[in-house]
Amino acid sequence: MASPKALLHVHDLETAYGQSQVLFGVSFDVGAGEVATLLGRNGMGKTTTVRSIMGIVRTLSGTIHFDGRPIRSLPSYRVAQAGLGLVPEGRQIFPNLTVRENLVATAANRNASAEPWTLERAFRLFPRLAERQRHLGNQLSGGEQQMLAIARALMTNPRLLILDEATEGLAPLVRAEIYQAVENLKAAGQSILIIDKDVKALTRIADRHTILEKGRVVWSGDSAALAASEDVQHRYLGV
């Protein structure tokens, strides 16, 4: 199943924070145009996997290919330039920049997307941001910040969008709004890697799932298989 031809190909990835190893040989793929997920309980290594891919934490060993190019141990800005757009856990929008500035400051189309993201398109995806465009980042609600973080990543025209806990701590309605946007993005052909806990929503939206348990991949399969195996859901996800 793992194939170096995938858009993102992670193989046998190992990462440690100081003396304590966190990832023990994580492997998975994200195909072009696909929506994939990383699932698992808290502390199982999902965010560390993402941070390893993005070059934010140093990895011990393994390979990470993006579009056939090795990207492991590149500095994070080079990884981003290669076409990975991370919406980080905790959103981390720039509080001292306005909504509009947050979007414009780091916008880029390095991989020559035929239909590059524009402010108008971002505002169409999240109309609320248009109303708030003159406000500073730290004056937004949590949901609006999340929308801004997603839109900011999209403005770099990423070939793979990575959402790390994008709906964490949000009200159900806002959460639904975010998932709706993700579905719209998928329909437009955007490849997405989602880290989240909402199995119900994700089996509807995503194509493929990888479950992590204590830094190891313990299950992977498609949405139908995940939805069918309540046993897996119960054992690894606690639902």
Binding site residues, another protein, CB under 8 A: 54, 56, 75-77, 79-81, 85-86, 88, 92, 94-98, 101-102, 104-106, 108, 110, 136, 152-153, 156
Neighbour-count burial for 202-216, b at 16+ CB within 10 Å, e otherwise: bbebbebbbbbbebe
Element at 24 (helix H, strand E): strand 20-30
Q: Closest approach of Cβ 51 to another protein, in Å?
A: 9
Q: Closest approach of Cβ 94 to another protein, in Å?
A: 5
Are 85 and 160 in contact by the 8 Å Cβ rule? The answer is yes
Dihedral sign, Cα of residue 218, residue 224, residue 225, residue 228: positive
Half-sphere exposure of 90 (CA within 13 A, CB side): 4
Nearer to another protein, 136 or 225 (CB): 136
Q: Closest approach of Cβ 55 to another protein, in Å?
A: 8
Nearer to another protein, 38 or 86 (CB): 86
Q: CB-based burial of residue 187 (10 Å sphere; 0-12 exposed, 13-18 middle, 19+ buried)?
A: exposed
Nearer to another protein, 7 or 153 (CB): 153
Nearer to another protein, 155 or 205 (CB): 155
Q: Closest approach of Cβ 135 to another protein, in Å?
A: 9
